[in-house]
Amino acid sequence: MSSMEEVETEETVTCLHITLYHPCQEEKQVFRNLKFHKRERHRVDEVAKFGRDSNICHYNLMDTRVSRVQFTLQFFRQLNSSELGFEIKNMSKKTKLIVDNVELDYLNKIDLPWKCIIRFGDYQFLMQRQDGESVDYFETCFELAQASLLQERHLPSLQPIPECGIFPSLVYSQAVNPVEIDENDL
Amino acid sequence: MSSMEEVETEETVTCLHITLYHPCQEEKQVFRNLKFHKRERHRVDEVAKFGRDSNICHYNLMDTRVSRVQFTLQFFRQLNSSELGFEIKNMSKKTKLIVDNVELDYLNKIDLPWKCIIRFGDYQFLMQRQDGESVDYFETCFELAQASLLQERHLPSLQPIPECGIFPSLVYSQAVNPVEIDENDL
C-alpha cells in the first residue's frame, strides 16, 4: 500500500488518435505493419515519420504509391501558452498533403488543428489530439475506419470514447477529450 | 571536356552561416568539437541537434551548463512560396532560447528570420541564411566571433563575404547573399 502512496503522481500524456482509411485497405493491406488499438509512446525529441521505407519510418505504409518518407510529425508547445500540439510536414515530392483544406507541397509544414482530416493520394487520416500534461512524451494510437471519413462529417456525437478507441462509424463527429455525458443525453 | 558539358547543372544549396560567441570560449574551449570554415551538408529530412550529448547531437557543445539537447533546427519551405528556411525549437527545460527578442521556453518553436541572433545562457549565435535552390540538402557553416555579437550591430557593411567566411568583426552588419559592390562604394 505504501509504495502506491510514495510514487510520483502519474502524468497524463498527449495522445494523437489517428483513424486511417484507404479505399483498398482490405485487399491491399496497406496498413498491415501498423499496430492498432495500442498507444505507442515517443520521446518529445523524436520526429514521427510515416512512409514506405521501414528503415527510416517508424510508421510504415505498405504501398508503392507512398513516398519513402510521406510526412513527419513533431511535438511542440505553442508560444506563450501551455498548449501542446503537433506540427506536420509534407516530405513527398510527388504528392500534396491536404490538411482539412490547406494544401501542403513538399517541405511545407503546418500546425495540426486539434481535430482534422489529412489526405494524400487515396489516403484519409483523421487526426484527433487528446490533451495531456507530459512534456517528456507523446503517444500515438491507430484505429481503422470502415468507411471513407469524408462522408461522415455530419453524424451526431453520440458516445464518449473509450481509453483508446474511436468507433469507426463515428470518427469525425467524436470528441477525444474526455467529456462527462449525462445518461439523459444519450 | 565533354563530361563537363554533360553533367547536370549544379544546384546551389541553402547554407545557414552560424557565427558563435561565448565569453569564455578561449579558456573553456566549449566549441572544440565543431568544425569551422567548412560547409557540412545534411539531407532535408535530418533535424540538426545542438547540445552536450554527442550521442544525440551532431553539433556538440562541451559545457556542463548546456542541456543534453539544447535546440534543434529543421529545414522547411514556406507555405505558398518557394522560400526555404529554418525552424528552431528550444529543447532545454532549464534555459530559455532567445531569438532576437522572442523568448522560447521548452518545446517552443519559431521560424528563424533570414538573419538573427539567438542567445541561451552566455551563448550568442548569429544565424544568417544564404539562400540556395536545392530541396534535397541544406548546409551549415561555422565561424568564431572574436567579440560579443551584441555590441557590433551598428558597424557599417564594408565588404562582400567570401564563399564560406564571415569576418568576425563584421558579423552582424554583413549580408550573406552575394552582393555586387562597386569599387566606388568601398
Shortest distance between the Cα of A9 and any Cα of chain B, in A, equals: 20
Q: How many Cα atoms within 13 Å fall on the side-chain side of residue A65?
A: 10
More confident residue, A81 or A8: A81
Q: Do A79 and B102 touch (CB under 8 A)?
A: yes
Which of B76, B87, B91 has the CB atom closest to A45's CB atom?
Answer: B91
- A126 forms beta bridges with A19, A117
Residue among B49, B73, B75, B46 nearest B61 (CA): B49
Kindly state the average pLDDT of the residues A56-72.
Answer: 96
Structure pTM? 0.80
| B164 pLDDT more than 80 | no
- If pLDDT is split at 50, 70 and 90, which confidence band does A2 have? low
Which of A44, A91, A93 has the CB atom closest to B107's CB atom?
Answer: A44
Residue reference for cell 573553456: B28
Residue of chain A nearest B81, judged by CA positions? A108
The edge-to-edge listing of strands for the beta sheet with A15-21 is: A40-43, A137-144, A15-21, A123-130, A115-120, A97-99, A102-104
Residues of A within 8 A of B110 (CB-CB) are 79
Which of A77, A108, A135 has the CB atom closest to B77's CB atom?
Answer: A108
pLDDT of residue A173: 43
Residue reference for cell 567548412: B38
| A18 pLDDT more than 60 | yes
Residue of chain A nearest B75, judged by CA positions? A107
Shortest distance between the Cα of B93 and any Cα of chain A, in A, equals: 9
Residues of A within 8 A of B58 (CB-CB) are none
ipTM: 0.79
| pLDDT tens digits, A125-141 | 999 999 999 999 999 99
| B183 pLDDT more than 90 | no
Chain B interface with A: residues with Cβ < 8 Å: 44-45, 47, 49, 56, 69, 72, 74-79, 84, 87, 89, 91, 93, 102, 104-110, 135
| B155 pLDDT more than 60 | no
pLDDT of residue B75: 98
Kindly state the average pLDDT of the residues B24-51.
Answer: 95
Kindly state the average pLDDT of the residues A57-86.
Answer: 96
- In terms of DSSP bridges, do strands B15-21 and B123-130 run parallel, antiparallel, or are they unpaired? antiparallel
pLDDT of residue A153: 55
| A185 pLDDT more than 70 | no
CA distance B116 to B122: 16
CA distance B186 to B182: 7
Q: Degrees (nearest 5) of the Cα angle B89, B93, B96?
A: 65
Residues of B within 8 A of A107 (CB-CB) are 44, 75-77, 84, 135
| pLDDT tens digits, B121-153 | 999 999 999 999 999 999 999 999 999 998 755
Residue of chain A nearest B43, judged by CA positions? A91
Kindly state the average pLDDT of the residues A52-61.
Answer: 96
Residues of B within 8 A of A102 (CB-CB) are 79
| pLDDT tens digits, A121-180 | 999 999 999 999 999 999 999 999 999 998 755 444 444 444 444 444 444 444 444 444
Type and span of the H or E element at B123: strand B123-130
CA distance A173 to A168: 10
pLDDT of residue A120: 98
**In this structure, which amino acid lies at residue A89?**
K
Q: Do A89 and B76 touch (CB under 8 A)?
A: yes
Q: Do A47 and B49 touch (CB under 8 A)?
A: no
More confident residue, A135 or B174: A135
Q: Degrees (nearest 5) of the Cα angle A107, A113, A117?
A: 80
Residues of A within 8 A of B93 (CB-CB) are 135
CA distance B167 to B73: 24
- CA distances, A135 to each of A82, A158, B95, B146 (Å): 10, 32, 15, 37
CB proximity list for B115: less than 8 A, separation 6 or greater? B126, B127, B128, B129, B176
Residue of chain A nearest B45, judged by CA positions? A91
Shortest distance between the Cα of A92 and any Cα of chain B, in A, equals: 11
Residues in chain B: 186
